[in-house]
Structure 1
Amino acid sequence: MINGYQPPTTENWQGRIDGTGPACQRWHQVMQLLDLNETITADLAGAFVLLGFACDEGVRRNQGRPGAAAGPGSIRTVLRNLPVHHTAQVMLYDAGNIICENDDLEMAQEQLAAAVNAILEKKGFPVVLGGGHEVAYGHFKGIRRSRRNNDITGIINFDAHFDLREPGVSGANSGTGFYQIANDLQEQGALFAYLPVGLQQISNTLQLFETAGALGVKYIEAAAMYDLNLPSLEQQVQAFLNHVDEVYLTIDLDVFAAAYAPGVSAVAFNGITPGYCFLSLLQQIFQSGKLVSFDIAELNPGFDKDQRTARLAAELIFRLVCTIDASQ
């Protein structure tokens, strides 16, 4: 039994209908509901399972602007009317939301871990909709529960921030997730394989760069994310992919410039653009054959404009589904 859980509802999947034939369908017409507190009888092999993490307690503790708890609903609002471009063999499920009750972030992360693990145990592909970037710690714990310690689960994080801060007196927050993961893996005797992409010097203290160095973390700064530098970037990403057994990909929407992602917890006026360079690296990861789970973090609908940020999040999920479908 997963506590702090909201099962999926059909109300989230109502939308425009252009017809019932395969060429006319939209996501709301093919989406199936999956209650994780019931026995999972569906065959989830090859299925993408949406799971909301309706929590921004980590953002609040991190002194950011709250509101990301409404992120999953905002993303679903865009997703439901997307056209179906994947094949009929690909199944889409909505598994509802994990919520944070009584400001208990740690419990919410534990419940997220249980839900992610349940999906993976049934061979599904989790697509977690945040929520603050505290989603990363619970998400990764869920992936690791069914893995052996000698399996290397690599993390690629598109983010303006390292999120490698040590938890303080108020506990864990949206900026401590990867530090917590590093500590857990060290206790398990497992390797911490972490590649942050899109970092901003203006968004990270020197101590965070020192922490990254002490942990052996290589990184790609936002300033390096331009088209002429793509061959070098692809080499760096491929070297990381070659070193790991599987990959968990997380995208913090604050990695993008404010014009593209105004609705985030910590806006970046000069972040990266979701253009050729970024999309090429994303495609490289999608097509690697090693991606096992994915999430999007920090969508804050209260600050969004014309659903720009939600639409960007939805397009990334759309690309994920279509790319992996095409490569199978």
Structure 2
Amino acid sequence: MHLTPTHATRFATATLAHLGREYPYKMDLVLTGPEDARPPREHHPIFHGSFDWHSCVHGWWQILRLARRFPDLPVAAEIRARADEMLVPEKVAGERAFLDRPYSAAFERPYGWAWLLALHDEAERHDAPWSAALEPLALAFAARFHAFLPKLTYPLRVGTHFNIAFALLLARHWAETRDPALVTLIDSRANEWFGADRDCQAWEPGGDEFLSSALTEAHLMAVLLGGDFTRWFDVFLPRAAQEQPATLFTPATVSDRSDGKIAHLDGLGLSRAWNWRAIAAALGPAHPAAPVAEAAAQRHLAAALPHVTGDYMGEHWLASFALLALDGL
């Protein structure tokens, strides 16, 4: 299953509708006084839609990617016009100023940081001024990674926004051509945290997780280790060719898609599909786990893709993960 113009139109149409939808909105804000109780757009001139800041950021990543991949679709012209209006220096300055507020050091750490870097990377692939406008914000978040990673003693293995392996995947992709020191730092910390992991039990999913702790870690190590990945994988998931642990190969049951936390499990299916595809490619076709991994990717994708739209609790974010699953980073 691959990205098609039909997928692109469906995803982009839904995302354009919620990027500017201001309410409901979940603020990440510490009030320092009554003057801080202002509407979201006054705090976030660009990222005040899509229910929360990070979903708005990766919604922008998604529509820019779709406009680049399918530039002749009618919706692509609307995307470019919206970007010309919103991704401008004065609005970026407002977003950047938010980072200087008291108690903002952990704002969107690390998930939103990583998605902003992914957005900047995508914007740079367009013949437009959007990347230059976003650069001060991207550099600010890169600086936060530089400051944060050395003091993070223990890895964040949870399957939600705090997962460190997912953030490092996106941040490293951005840094490869821009910040070699950050690449070195990411590789060093990832090897310290994950390099000696053995026989993963994969106690997942948790009831509200949208990332696989095990597979996101393996995906990151595939990027870091290159030709040495197979040796690491064979001791990390030694029974993968036998589809064990079974939890990693079985799509999650989603009991209520109107519940924002339970709806996370559709995202788990999509992110696992992305992970399994990357892992299969890194292992190579001769590895016995590769066809099993690819089959698991297709199984998870088939279970989750029909539910990308339909309820706002999933619709405001799931298309970005569907795009990862279908088209990669």
TM-score w.r.t. the length of structure 1 is 0.30
Rg (Cα) greater in structure: 2
Looking at both structures, which has the greater relative contact order when contacts are Cα pairs under 8 Å and sequence separation is at least 6? 1
Q: Please identify which structure carries the higher strand content.
A: 1
TM-score w.r.t. the length of structure 2 is 0.30
